[in-house]
Structure formats: structure tokens, C-alpha cells
Chain A
Amino acid sequence: MQNNKNRLRHLVTACATAGLLGATATTAVNAAEPVKVGVMLPFSGVYAALGNAGRNGLKLALQQNAAQLHGREIEFLELDTEAKPERAPELASSLLDKDKADFIIGPVHSGVAMGMSKVLRNTDAIMIIPNAGAAAATGPLCAPNVFRTSFSSWQPSYPMGKVALDAGYKKVVTMSWNYGMGKESLEAFEESFTAGGGEIVKQILVPFPKTEFQPYITDIAATAPDAVFVFFAGGGAVKFVKDYDALGLKGKIPLLGSGFLTEGTLDAQGDAAEGILTTLHYADNLDNPTNQKFRQQYQDAFGKPADIYAVQGYDAGQLIAQAIDKLGGDISDRKALIQAMESSTIDSPRGLFTFSKAHNPVQDIYLRKVEHGENQVMSIAAAALEDPARGCKL
């Protein structure tokens, strides 16, 4: 077991982003000791692309903001979670106890987030979640040292209820895989949709990770609702959108979704995705200078276009840099560090955002429509939307 652990654990001491720029800036406190940033993301397996994007974004932000680090170097300790929840507690413990990491960035997968949170909440390390949307992480399991730079599962889906009502839809079928993120997304949609007088005529939960959607879509056609709201992501999103089109429902029953339905999947979905409406806290072609600059720099640095996962990792990096800057490089007082982080305003490619009491982003959610293979921003579906953080006592 021990051996196995050592083998899997590939520890990278990537160095000296602060280096030259920082050294001239100030006489830094503890300059000799690097800030230890543990990274727990999936670098292999199905979510590898997401993990890599998050890591790239994180590193880019810390490089760009090197001047803010007051001479502190950053030491990255990278562990591959493989998106396996059962590995999470062990990996998190080793970063916490053995490496004494100051910050631990991760994960992508909500199950892994639960495992990490169990070990890390109320400890000395600051946990920053750059993707996993599980409501619990900033809900019942919220803690002073746990931050999130992505979203809660509630945030992207809640505004769609109002969008659907405004479009005049009264009866909607909802559908997703039968797992946490999917169910939480459907509930968030249902919450705002039924509050405004809409009716969920059927909720379909497909066993994860099954992708034989045809029977369900046939069933939707027989139900003939005003619209369909779904949560699917990745390969499942591609398959669902293709099946929906192939059985002829596209253009007859409008398809609405949480934004992940059309993130990173549009090439594979092709024409089948045209016209789909989604809500999300980001869109690739969002028209603001920070986003344009970020996308250009990301492309130059890594040779591929940035995506939402890169943005979320980038903002985790910005959050760290900003907090270190505020404290003049000395992050030994954890209380002061947490305060500095809580009061941060992040100039994100998605637009400015702040943090709620539960440490979740308070952010705009955009309504997007797929046109010519791109998510075109139509409007802001909900401005400065704050997760209700149900069950959080902070």
C-alpha cells in the first residue's frame, strides 16, 4: 500500500514563479520558505482534461501575479485524484500532515470534494475548490478554511426556471443522471420554476453512467411538454443532444439545460446543439477585457483555447495571490488569511465576483444560446447570484 502510494503520488516541485520580479519588490517575510500549494486534480481518467485545464489556469494566475507574492516562491505539490472519491481522504491527509501545505486546490469531482472536505475542514490548510459544485461543500459542510472559485450546483440551474417562465413554458420535463450534481441541478431549476407557477410534469433520472437515452426521449415525446430541462455533461451531454435531435424533438420541444450541456462538447454535438438555451457563470466569448486578455494569454502559454475549468483554476490562483499581497507576504496568521480571502474581489474572466459568507462566489449567471457552434451570450439571467448555502452556519 505504502509503495503503491509513493508510486502514484507524483510530486512536482515546480518552482519559482515569484523569483525575479518579487525579489526586488519588498523585503519579504519568510522569503526563504515557499508557499506550499497542494493540487488535487484528476490528471488521468475521464476527467483528465478538466484537471489539466484547472492546473494550467492556476499556474498562469500565479505567474502573472508574481509581483503580488512579496518574494514568496510557490511550491506546487501535485497529486492525481483520478476522480476517485475513495482516494481523496488519503491524498488530502498526506498534503495536510506530511507536506504541511498552505493551500490545497481541488477537486473536479463532487465525490472527491466530499472526501477532501471531511479531512480538511477546520484545519490549518486553506482548501479552494476550483470546480466540484456539490451543494454540501459550501452548505452543511462549509468551514472557515474552505473556499470555492467555481459555482454551487444550485447557481447555474436556478436562473433557468425564470427564463423558462418568461418564455411562456408552463409544463416542463426534467432529466439528468441519477447522481448528486444532476439531482441538485434539477431541484434548483424546479425551485424557481414552480415558485413562479410552472409545473414539472415528469422528472426522469437515468442510472449513471448509462447513455441509452432513446427510450426516455421517446417517453418525453409522448408526454409532449412545453420544454425540457436537463443536466448532462461531457460524453453524456453529447449523446443526449444527438439523440434528442435524431428522434426529431429538436425544434419541436425547446431544450434547456445547465450550461455544462454545451461546455467543451459543441464540436462533438455539431448541428444537433443549435438553438439550445443554457445558463452558466461563464461563456467563452464573454465580452470583457479581462476575458479577452486571459484567453489570449492562455492560448499563448498552453497552445489551446481556455475553457471554464481553466477560468475557475485561474481564479483560485488570483485568490491566493491577492490574499498573500494583502498580508504583505506573511500568511502564517490563518485567521488574517481567511479574512483577506473573504474580502477579496476577483477580477475574473467571467466578470467581477465576491464571496458569500459560506465562501461561494457571488456571481452573474449568463443566459446563452448555441448559435453557429458557439455559446452566444444573450443576457444576464441573474445578477450577483448568491447560493442560499442551506445548512451552513458561518
Chain B
Amino acid sequence: MDITLFLFQLMNGVQYGLLLFLIASGLTLVFGVMGILNLAHGSMYMVGAYLAWYFTNTTGSFGMAAVISAIVALLLGILIERTLIIRLYRRNHLDQVLLTIGLIFVFNALQSLLWGNDPLGVAVPAWLDGAIPLTDMIEYPVYRLFVSLLCILIAIGMYLTINRTRLGMLIRAGESNRDMVECLGVDINRLYTLVFAAGVALAAIAGIVSAPMVSVVPGMGEHVLISCFVVVVIGGMGSIRGAFVGALMVGIVDTFSSIMLPQVSSMMIYILMAVILLVKPKGLFAS
């Protein structure tokens, strides 16, 4: 593999990793702060992609569709937290798993009823529909660079929010001791609603920005969920920084193993996870 090809593949890996981070960040945020294991997180990714498709068709503009879809997802997150998740806080992980697996089925059925089972596609918006030629053969689509940039911006935004704002302070406090935060006069329920909705919105945004790059199909959420769990476990459950590092590792390892070790490539990210867990049983950045 010569150096240009290596760099291309590295770009592919980083791009995939950044997108994985965007999806996984919501999962790890909700787990870290609220202790809720949301298996339906992948469904939110799917919902985002389908909403983007639907609103792009009705409004004719991807940009507008993206904004509307993100707001709808946020509201959906609030609704789910207020009606369902709220019943889980004092219960164990098994109950959480049961409820959120149930949600996967519900969302899959709704998707099938509302939008059918045919693969759907969203066109890349015209203002991002260019490509930068890298060699005679390969070019890099502007839209994909834009998505990577967006993922980086969201990562920085999350970092600053959690570490530099009052809200972030409350989130961190809630993470370590829910009862104490409540005693200090903070409305922890509102905080939880906000965090859960943000988690849903992050997954949905990942789905929205993915829509023009992927095929919008049934089952797209489950596929991505598994990779997300690998990312979150590698990084340490609940750690945003861990999710970032884990996602990049998974993206890069998956990309290079696809090319260099095609026979075992589907195992490589799990082997990576196993090795990391041997050295750090709670993940790289477990709190």
C-alpha cells in the first residue's frame, strides 16, 4: 500500500469514525448521566434518516428538512422520556433493556407502516454536491467532508457544554450523585428530560446527515447499534471522550482490516474491543 492510498484509507476511516462518534455520543451520554441503557438508540438514527427523507420530499429542501427533522426528533425524545423512560429510573437494567427492545419493534413497525420497506434515497443538497479531485481517479465528495466537519464541531460543542457551562456542571453532578443534586434544589427530572432528548437528537442528527450518503432502509438502526455499543464499551460506558477515541479507533481499524485482512475483517472491531477490555476492563476512559 503506497502512501497516497494509505492516506485515502485513513480519511475513509476517520470519516466513518466521526460519524460513529456522532451516533454513539448520545448513547453514552444517556447512559453516563441517567444510567439508562437505551437499546432503541439505533432506531432514533433510523427515524432521523426517514424523517430527513420525508421532509426533503415535502419541503423540497434538504437543509429545511434537516432542521425540521432534528426538532421533531427532539420532541420525540421528550415524549419518550416523559411517558416511558421516566418509569425506569428506579428499576434495574433488565427492565430498561426490555422496554427499549420493545421500542425497537414499535419503531420498526411504524417505519414499515408509514414509509414501506423499499430502499429510499435522499439526494445530496446542490450546494454541497461537489467533489475535490485528489488523483486522476479518486475524488472526495464535499458533502462527506462537510459531515466530518459537522461531527467535529458537535464533538467540540459537547466538550465545551459539559466542561464549561453550568448545565454541564449539573450533568456531571447528576452523573455522580443524583440524590445530592436534588437536595441542592436542582430539578433533576427536567435535567434528565433534557439529556435524554439530546441523546435522541444526536442519534437522529447522525441519521439525518447520513441520509444522503446511505440507503434509507428498514433495519438500518440495528446494524449501526452494534457498532455503537462496541464504540461505547471501548471508550468506557458513559464517557464522551471515550466515545470519541473509541469511534475513531473502530472506524480506522474497520477500514484498514476491510482492505488488508478481508477474511477476518468482520471480527476485527470485536477483537479490538476484547483486547482493550483485557487491558482496561472498564474501557479506556471509564469514570
Give A residues with C-beta under 8 Å from B.
Answer: 44-49, 204-207, 209-212, 214-216, 218-219, 221-222, 224, 234-239, 242-243, 246-249, 252-253, 264-265, 267-271
Contact = CB atoms under 8 A, between A and B. Distances in A.
B262 interface: yes
Nearest to B257: A215
A46 B137 contact: no
Contacts of A236: 215
Interface stretch (B63-71, B113-121, B184-192): B113-121
B259 A49 contact: no
B287 interface: no
Interface stretch (B138-146, B155-163, B194-202): B138-146
Contact of B220 (A224, A235, A242, A270): A235
Contact of A264 (B119, B254, B262): B119
Nearest to A51: B117
Contacts, number: 114
A260 to B, nearest CB: 12
17 contacts: A46-B117, A48-B117, A211-B214, A211-B215, A215-B13, A215-B255, A215-B258, A216-B258, A221-B137, A221-B138, A222-B137, A239-B215, A246-B124, A248-B138, A248-B139, A267-B121, A270-B123
Contacts of A214: 12, 15-16, 255
B262 A205 contact: yes
Contacts of A265: 119, 215
B138 A218 contact: yes
Contacts of A45: 218
Contacts of A206: 258
A38 B142 CA distance: 52
B223 A246 contact: no
B152 interface: no
A46 B5 CA distance: 36
Best-buried of A234, A239, A243, A268 by chain B (most CB within 10 Å): A268
Contacts of A234: 119, 215, 217
B233 interface: no
A216 B133 contact: no
Contacts of B213: 242-243, 246
Nearest to A247: B138
A216 B5 CA distance: 11
Contacts of B16: 212, 214
A218 B5 contact: yes
Interface string B206-226: 000000011111111001000
